Amino acid sequence: MSVRVAILLSGGGSNMVRLVESMTGDHPARPVLVMSNDPAAGGLARATALGVDTAAVDHRLFAGDRAAFEDVLHARLMQAEPDLICLAGFMRILTGDFTARWAGRMLNIHPSLLPKYRGLHTHARALEAGDTEAGCTVHEVTADLDDGPIRGQARVPVMPDDCAESLAARVLKAEHRLYPAVVRRFAGGDRTPLMLG
């Protein structure tokens, strides 16, 4: 019986594509839904092209009522009966009530070496600090933003002539390696953090 994975995104979905493409053969998990808070998210069309069911719950229809938005999101998720949720460029902050419903069953990928640089603009902040290395982190999602147990990290060098965009592109490539490997390990029941160079 495969582990049923739902992926939540807000944008183009390059991480979603790698996750979906990885869940084949002897992989213990299979994608069952790709959902977005933005009906126009490019990742939804990419998921359809990959043969994965999609859904959208437009957060703008809830006029800031985060709980009401999450109730609809949760109800739609439950229709797919996921065992694991992967946030992949999902740009809405989730309340403690929602994260509690999925405790231990929800992962996120964040473009920094947590606990450094929680929140936004991680690459600009790393450059500003003069860091010589950067990277990405897969962590379990808790009520605290970008703060749950770390399940994997990948490190990349910061080059002297890097700008935020060039560093982001290098980190994104590392995300595409890290997230599928962590999801395969996590879906297999192994909680050992995966550290990639």
DSSP 8-state secondary structure symbol assigned to residue 31: E
Quick check: 36 binds ligand GRF (CB under 6 A)? no
For CA atoms 112, 115, 118, 123, the dihedral sign is negative
Quick check: 12 binds ligand GRF (CB under 6 A)? yes
- Please measure the distance between the N-terminal and C-terminal CA atoms of the chain and give it in whole angstroms: 33
Among the residue ranges 6-14, 55-63, 66-74, 98-106, the one whose residues contact ligand GRF (CB under 6 A): 6-14
Among the residue ranges 11-19, 47-55, 98-106, 145-153, the one whose residues contact ligand GRF (CB under 6 A): 11-19
- Closest residue to ligand GRF in the complex (CB): 89
Count residues contacting ligand GRF (CB under 6 A)?
16
Edge to edge, the sheet with strand 84-87 lists: 54-56, 29-36, 3-9, 84-87, 106-110, 133-140, 150-157, 194-196
Gap between the Cα atoms of 47 and 39, Å rounded: 13
Which is nearer to ligand GRF, 14 or 37 (by Cβ)?
Answer: 14
Q: Is 110 a catalytic residue?
A: yes
Min. distance of Cβ 45 from ligand GRF in angstroms? 13
Structure tokens given for 165: 């965009």
Active-site residue, selected from the candidate residues 110, 123, 139, 176? 110
Which is nearer to ligand GRF, 71 or 124 (by Cβ)?
Answer: 124
Gap between the Cα atoms of 31 and 83, Å rounded: 10
Which is nearer to ligand GRF, 110 or 185 (by Cβ)?
Answer: 110
Q: Which residues of 96-127 are buried (b: 16+ CB within 10 A; e: fewer)?
A: eebbebbeeebbbbbbbbbeebeeeebbebbb
Min. distance of Cβ 49 from ligand GRF in angstroms? 15
Gap between the Cα atoms of 117 and 50, Å rounded: 33
Binding mask 79-118 for ligand GRF (x = CB under 6 A): ---------xx-------------------xxx-------
Among 80, 124, 172, 194, binds ligand GRF (CB under 6 A): 172
Chain positions contacting ligand GRF, by CB under 6 A: 9, 11-16, 43, 88-89, 109-111, 136, 172, 175
State the catalytic residues. Answer: 110
